[in-house]
Chain A
């Protein structure tokens, strides 16, 4: 099931113009509208949020708007500049978010983010990131994520929320209450549908098809099927002249994994030659498989540092080929260097030098592309006494060194995520338990070490203010060694409830 993100810029023309004019732009406190020529009439073609608020509408005659809203700034619209700028935003999104981005003219983008969301901590993270970055650029955006282009389009423009994410398979429920305008139908069809009393997509979708198809043509129900995801709708991705692209067209469609693998390696070889000419290395590489039914299957790989080693990139890509569904065949393959960085030449080790162990970076790339980037980490110590906060996860290529604060202390090899309550027999205030029961097993303590007092971090949450844990190392009769703590200092009830917990196990 594809996942499609639709971005809608409701004030695209005015936002774009304000950004292009820079300092000279009319202030945000003044309503702004753009005027254009339609036949021999001069009409308002775009309004910003303030102008919309005071009552200006798209399609209003210019003379009427001028007389009604005296303080409104009216500038000339530039449709071709708008379209050009929208394409630039699409290329930015292509580099940043997804290998499949298309312009949804005149005021939106469409992104196929299937398999790309995990890089931003899930779909919600990705959507929030897109909207935040666009608003930093001064562009108001509404976003909707659904299973099909049609549904995402409809929800971005007519949904109640500025950002909405429809869970996979739930698209139909979200679509039913939306108005028929959301279906991307020709504008002259809408009044006729309304005349028939069909206001929402739900009402329309429930009607018998033949009579409506006879009067409105096949487009009506094709749009419905596309929105509900029953009909496939290919996204023709935007192309950027500055991206390095190598392509291969096949006379006969290919489908066997070995063939796909062979041509992937050939494309990678060609790509690496091009990269070398330009002194570049690739950080993200997209591979598009255009199927005979015009659907585009994509795979992409990311690297921690710029790379132009054909063997290594080829391996990373061929690792992922199994996720590609060739359908009835693939007739075009296209390799795009979506993100590149300059990389210099490196001195090779000579045969006389000490044979060094190979670089490990490519192993981290292989593993993180195959199993997800979150799996691999370096555990770096944090300067804190609270054991559950003692480790920070950094990417494997990070060079930071951790704190030495707890380096000399004996710490358990196993630390339970939730300290497990135990029943103990212990003298207060600072004696270790004589015996305890954990997981319905009773342990008699032979020797013990402690207490090691840990003050909880009052600056983090109110709950931790003044709280204390006393940790003990206990060795039991069988020879096992445990790490237990008592909540509270044993004298003041305000420091903790005097309950005992087992937190870890030593070697």
Chain B
């Protein structure tokens, strides 16, 4: 019996963790399902009960369209209901379904001032009935990010701050430290060429700029599919090096 006890103990621990659902949930991670990305993240995924920051690169800092798509993909994979807070009225809700966040799972919250967004996000995170809360924000002070992070930890709800600025110069703000676990920058790339006329699946450069307990990294990925999953597009990536250069040389 004594030889079995470590196995029994670990099984018991697992069972206790499932019973203490909240604590375990807050500490568990949500993998991207892409081994190359997950390998760079501690525990192999995004920490669920924590704040993550996402911004767009280049013109995306102002329109944030790729950033919200990336956020929608993550929120969709958390599996439950989502609150989406924003101030600028150009969000086109049906497009989020393309990243897997279908309209029956998301409730939108539109207000004018950002302090209301922070308040609403914190309230929603502390509530615990949702699996992810997304806030589109221009400013995020250290204190505000700490509050969001703490609220997310309590209930194991994922907090996603999509940073979006009104002007390019304001995007410098992204260099300032916050309490976020990870910080991502998404820049749009040319889609991989199709054999026929048309625009292929979107490609992004995803930069992991900061990661608590991990190194920064960057990836070239294909945008979220209808289940919110990214992919590296391996089969094309093999000849991407040559094909990509040719295309660039041709243009």
Residue B96, interface by CB 8 Å: yes
- CB-contact partner of A413 in B68, B119, B187, B193, under 8 A: B68
On chain A, the number of residues with a Cβ less than 8 Å from chain B's Cβ atoms is: 51
Contacts A/B (CB < 8 Å), 13 sampled: A355-B19, A358-B127, A366-B127, A378-B104, A401-B104, A411-B95, A415-B90, A447-B198, A475-B191, A479-B203, A481-B188, A507-B70, A507-B204
Stretch of B3-11, B35-43, B59-67, B140-148 that contacts chain A:
B59-67
Most A-side CB within 10 Å, residue of B106, B188, B197: B188
Of all chain A residues, the one with the shortest Cβ separation from B124 is: A363
Stretch of A106-114, A205-213, A284-292, A402-410 that contacts chain B:
A402-410
Residues of B within 8 A of A401 (CB): 104
Cα A298 to Cα B55 in complex, Å, equals 43
Stretch of A22-30, A154-162, A182-190, A369-377 that contacts chain B:
A369-377
Residue B80, interface by CB 8 Å: yes
Cα A29 to Cα B244 in complex, Å, equals 87
Cα A357 to Cα B116 in complex, Å, equals 25
Cα A62 to Cα B95 in complex, Å, equals 74
B127 touches A371 (CB 8 A): no
Residue A396, interface by CB 8 Å: yes
Residue B130, interface by CB 8 Å: yes
Interface string of A398-439 (1 = CB under 8 A from B): 000110001100111111110000000000000000000000
Of all chain B residues, the one with the shortest Cβ separation from A381 is: B94
- CB-contact partner of A412 in B65, B97, B116, B119, under 8 A: B65
- CB-contact partner of A378 in B107, B131, B189, under 8 A: B107
Of all chain A residues, the one with the shortest Cβ separation from B107 is: A396
A314 → chain B, closest Cβ, in Å? 15
Interface string of A331-350 (1 = CB under 8 A from B): 00000000000000000000
A165 → chain B, closest Cβ, in Å? 24
- CB-contact partner of A478 in B80, B123, B188, B202, under 8 A: B188
A380 touches B92 (CB 8 A): no
B63 touches A358 (CB 8 A): no
Cα A360 to Cα B58 in complex, Å, equals 37
Residues of B within 8 A of A477 (CB): 190, 251
Main secondary structure of the interface of A (DSSP, over half): mixed
A378 touches B65 (CB 8 A): no
Residue A449, interface by CB 8 Å: yes
Of all chain B residues, the one with the shortest Cβ separation from A474 is: B199
Residues of A within 8 A of B128 (CB): 357-358
Closest 10 CB pairs of A and B: A507-B69, A379-B93, A415-B92, A360-B129, A413-B65, A411-B95, A479-B188, A449-B198, A479-B189, A507-B66
Residues of B within 8 A of A446 (CB): 190, 251
On whether A357 and B80 interact (CB within 8 A), knowing A364-B107, A415-B92, A507-B65, the answer reads yes
Residue B108, interface by CB 8 Å: yes
Interface string of A450-469 (1 = CB under 8 A from B): 00000000000000000000
B108 touches A379 (CB 8 A): yes
A414 touches B111 (CB 8 A): no
A393 → chain B, closest Cβ, in Å? 8
On whether A505 and B63 interact (CB within 8 A), knowing A360-B81, A413-B95, A447-B199, the answer reads yes
Interface residues in B160-206 (C-beta closer than 8 Å to A): 187-191, 193-194, 197-199, 202-204
B212 → chain A, closest Cβ, in Å? 26
8 further A-B contacts with Cβ under 8 Å, apart from A375-B109, A414-B91, A481-B199, are A358-B129, A370-B123, A379-B103, A381-B103, A387-B92, A391-B92, A413-B91, A413-B96
Main secondary structure of the interface of B (DSSP, over half): mixed
Residue A304, interface by CB 8 Å: no
- CB-contact partner of B92 in A376, A413, A447, A449, under 8 A: A413
Residues of A within 8 A of B191 (CB): 447, 475, 479, 481
A391 touches B130 (CB 8 A): no
B59 touches A480 (CB 8 A): yes
Residues of B within 8 A of A506 (CB): 65, 202
Cα A379 to Cα B199 in complex, Å, equals 27
On chain B, the number of residues with a Cβ less than 8 Å from chain A's Cβ atoms is: 59
Residue B26, interface by CB 8 Å: no
On whether A375 and B127 interact (CB within 8 A), knowing A413-B91, A477-B251, the answer reads no
A410 touches B98 (CB 8 A): yes
B123 → chain A, closest Cβ, in Å? 6
Cα A380 to Cα B198 in complex, Å, equals 29
Cα A375 to Cα B189 in complex, Å, equals 35
On whether A478 and B129 interact (CB within 8 A), knowing A414-B90, A504-B92, A507-B188, the answer reads no
Residues of A within 8 A of B60 (CB): 480
- CB-contact partner of A376 in B68, B95, B109, under 8 A: B109
Cα A507 to Cα B72 in complex, Å, equals 11
Cα A71 to Cα B138 in complex, Å, equals 75
On whether A376 and B124 interact (CB within 8 A), knowing A390-B94, A475-B199, A506-B65, the answer reads no
Residue A91, interface by CB 8 Å: no
Residues of A within 8 A of B69 (CB): 413, 507
Residues of B within 8 A of A371 (CB): 109, 111, 116, 120
A417 → chain B, closest Cβ, in Å? 6
Residues of B within 8 A of A473 (CB): 199
B59 → chain A, closest Cβ, in Å? 6
Cα A480 to Cα B194 in complex, Å, equals 17
Residues of A within 8 A of B123 (CB): 363, 366-367, 370
Interface residues in A311-357 (C-beta closer than 8 Å to B): 355, 357
B6 → chain A, closest Cβ, in Å? 28
Residues of A within 8 A of B129 (CB): 357-360, 363
Residue B48, interface by CB 8 Å: no
Cα A401 to Cα B97 in complex, Å, equals 14
Of all chain B residues, the one with the shortest Cβ separation from A473 is: B199
B124 touches A478 (CB 8 A): no
Residue B215, interface by CB 8 Å: no
A412 touches B197 (CB 8 A): no
B109 touches A479 (CB 8 A): no
B77 → chain A, closest Cβ, in Å? 16
Residue A130, interface by CB 8 Å: no
B27 → chain A, closest Cβ, in Å? 16
Interface string of A467-496 (1 = CB under 8 A from B): 000000111011111000000000000000
A417 touches B90 (CB 8 A): yes
A481 touches B202 (CB 8 A): yes
B62 → chain A, closest Cβ, in Å? 10
Residue B21, interface by CB 8 Å: yes
Residues of A within 8 A of B80 (CB): 357
B59 touches A377 (CB 8 A): no
